[in-house]
Amino acid sequence: MDLVPALEEPLKKVLGPPTAKVMAEHLGLHTVGDLLHHYPRRYEERGQLTHLADLPMDEHVTVVAMVADARLHSFASAKSPRGKGQRLEVTITDGHGRLQLVFFGNGVHKPHKELLPGTRAMFAGKVSVFNRRLQLAHPAYELLRGDTEEAVETWAGALIPLYPATAKLESWKIGKAVQTVLPSAQEAVDPLPDSLREGRGLVSLPEALLKIHRPHTKADIDAARTRLKWDEAFVLQVALARRRHADAQLPAVPRRPAADGLLSAFDDRLPFTLTDGQRKVSAEIFDDLAADHPMHRLLQGEVGSGKTLVALRAMLAVVDAGGQAALLAPTEVLAQQHHRSVVEMMGELAEGGMLGGADRATKVVLLTGSMGTAARRQALLDLVTGEAGIVIGTHALIEDKVRFHDLGLVVVDEQHRFGVEQRDALRGKGKQPPHLLVMTATPIPRTVAMTVFGDLETSVLDQLPAGRSPIASHVVPAADKPHFLARAWERVREEVANGHQAYVVCPRIGDEDEDPKKAGRKKSPEDEAEKRPPLAVLDVADHLAKGPLQGLTVEVLHGRMHPDDKDAVMRRFAAGDTDVLVATTVIEVGVNVPNATAMVIMDADRFGVSQLHQLRGRVGRGSAPGLCLLVTEMPEASPARQRLGAVAATLDGFELSRIDLEQRREGDVLGQAQSGARSSLRVLAVIEDEEVIEQAREEAVAVVEADPELTAHPGLRTALDALVDEEREQYLEKG
């Protein structure tokens, strides 16, 4: 019988079932290897204390500080009406700030004896506010005596590691558990090829694990982190490089447009010339389509940069070459919108087989889940016979019933809404793997594109078509300056008086029942600014129609409406029959009404930076200038207000996506960019570590080209299996 490798040993055997259970349930740690890769969040130096002034509210924190004073109070309570209740108040200091600790009842005796003025200790608990002061109630603590055998043993080294902890398991208990398993680090299998490690001057994996958990100097921490960043970047890039390599081995039908076919007839119809960017990106796409292995390309374009036109030209080139093209959209509203705009752009070229259709025309069909049976049956028939060259649809396209005559190209709009599984299900409908073009209007910094979309080549459209207008953006501080909000509604009326239209966006629909569990919860003072629920479409529309926008036609649009009703509302708005559309973020992507010039975003602080940028891109799509007003009640100094200020200050989506990333935690950015939480990035920061990611990508490509099966790299194979289960390597889940 094989012995279990040291790092795969279950924690319950090493640490005992109770501790192992807490680690599994609260930290997702199951094996010795998992615990060794649970790195300290930061380090405290013996002589240096945490800044108590910077503690985050409602978070579980660990602080190292000194007791300034301790007082025992008696008080009367329901349990001890004679004034026998006891409360111990301890004030701790770090030389900059002070923090109150409180202990009650029988829990006061031990700390009363141990926490004497001048004592240094680590304290862990959840920060709350009482009488406008920060406090920790009943914190766990560990004295830092530094003279007893055990304390010296446990806190060996001048740097105290502080681990991401939970209420159930304090940082120092995790530290002690790490101490127990640390000898196993010697058996860690190194995923980096020796030549790479030596060439880059990186320490070995066992050494890195020892140094990150038990550093003696700051240089130890730096050496360990640099090495561990390389592991994360390199293993992930190898997984992506292997996927690209496997895709490049697949056969595909080359699709070259006919010299005087549908594409040239379409180009002749265009009332404008393509931008240089559109020409360049189209050339990259046509080169890929002509190859005998499938194209895998990501098309990034600022909101309104004309991505749809580029995608449509690619689709027409494939139809010219005898194939079919499918455009997959994330919502029905967007699928219908795409269908309408494609049919409009193509004119009689979209009327294949119909009276009045051009000679070289094809049919453009729509396929969504809510279509009537007859229309659906006809659409399916048009696809299987090849009558329809282009199909636009939602997830309905992925269903088993959908068959194509000869699917040559799949265009996925807003990739971040789809997993790779869905992409692959649609690709599986071709006789041979079809070409793939993924479009996104969310600007993605290069390093994130390399990490999250690393299996795709990237094209960027960063130039706006002629005739697009700039968008002025302003923050409206509704709480500080209520008259600013009144002025915002006047501006909307002015736009309408000039023959234009406006959007009002709200975070919520408003027909949800309040969750009784949430309703009963007590709010802490720091929730004050967010006490009320987010503003809702139905309430705001009602208030505007009866108040500030009385006399204008106001309609609502949200995701829970029946698809036919949504379509009817969008049609009326597009036709100019509605002055103001009050909507949720269903209008975030792809909705194109050039006459809409103003947008008011209510509770703008409840949206992410990229989302605000997307929403703002819905105005200024015609020749009149656009206006976007970001309404918020957050106080001026709050991070939320600074975020809105950043959005108002620039129209550069790439700049905003960097700000967005720097403000969010790395893990959120990648979503589950890898399969399963255990492989999410721990030390690699996508924005800061641009250089490491680029170098890791180069190294990964070289390794995979030389040895696609990684036969010479058993350690790397093991790491890959840990990152991605065997059957999921091709499903690196997208963020």
Q: What is the pLDDT of residues 452-474, one digit of tens each?
A: 677 778 888 877 666 667 788 99
The pLDDT, as a whole number, for residue 316 is 95
At 392 the three-state DSSP class reads strand
- Residue 82's pLDDT band, with cuts at 50, 70 and 90, is low
Most confident of 3-12, 494-503, 708-717: 494-503
Backbone angles phi, psi at 509, to 5 degrees: -80, -50
* Contacts with 92 (C-beta within 8 Å, 6 or more apart), sequence order: 52, 63, 65, 66, 67, 68, 98, 99, 101, 123
The overall pTM is greater than 0.75: no
Beta strands in 576-619 (DSSP E): 580-583, 596-601
Rg of the chain, C-alpha, whole Å: 30
Give the orientation angle of helix 262-269 with respect to helix 307-320, to 10 degrees.
Answer: 150
Look at residues 323, 348, 311, 320 and name the one whose alpha carbon lies nearest to residue 437.
Answer: 311
Pair of tokens at residue 220: 């130890």
Average pLDDT over residues 142-162: 60
CB-CB contact of 285 with 245 (8 Å): no
- The H-assigned helical ranges of 347-477 are 373-385, 420-427, 446-452
Query: What whole-number distance in Å separates Cα of residue 27 and Cα of residue 35?
Result: 9
Residue identified by tokens 């259709």 is 357
At 620 the three-state DSSP class reads coil
> Would you say residue 731 has pLDDT above 60?
no
Within 13 Å of residue 615, how many CA atoms lie on the same side as its CB?
30
The pLDDT, as a whole number, for residue 565 is 87
The pLDDT, as a whole number, for residue 197 is 92
CB-CB contact of 336 with 392 (8 Å): no
Query: What whole-number distance in Å separates Cα of residue 517 and Cα of residue 620?
Result: 43
At 170 the three-state DSSP class reads coil
One-letter amino acid at 592 equals: N
CB-CB contact of 435 with 292 (8 Å): no
Query: What whole-number distance in Å separates Cα of residue 389 and Cα of residue 406?
Result: 9
234-286 tens-digit pLDDT: 988 898 888 888 888 888 889 988 888 899 999 998 888 888 889 999 999 99
One-letter amino acid at 152 equals: V
The pLDDT, as a whole number, for residue 146 is 59
* Contacts with 252 (C-beta within 8 Å, 6 or more apart), sequence order: 291, 292, 293, 294, 295, 432, 433, 434, 435
Q: Which helix (H) or strand (E) holds 602?
A: none
Query: What whole-number distance in Å separates Cα of residue 333 and Cα of residue 339?
Result: 10
The pLDDT, as a whole number, for residue 304 is 67
689-694 long-range contacts, CB within 8 A, separation 24+: 689/229, 689/233, 689/447, 690/446, 690/447, 692/229, 692/230, 692/233, 693/233, 693/237, 693/447, 693/450, 693/451, 694/447, 694/450
169-196 tens-digit pLDDT: 888 888 889 989 999 888 888 889 999 9
Percentage above 90 pLDDT, the chain: 23
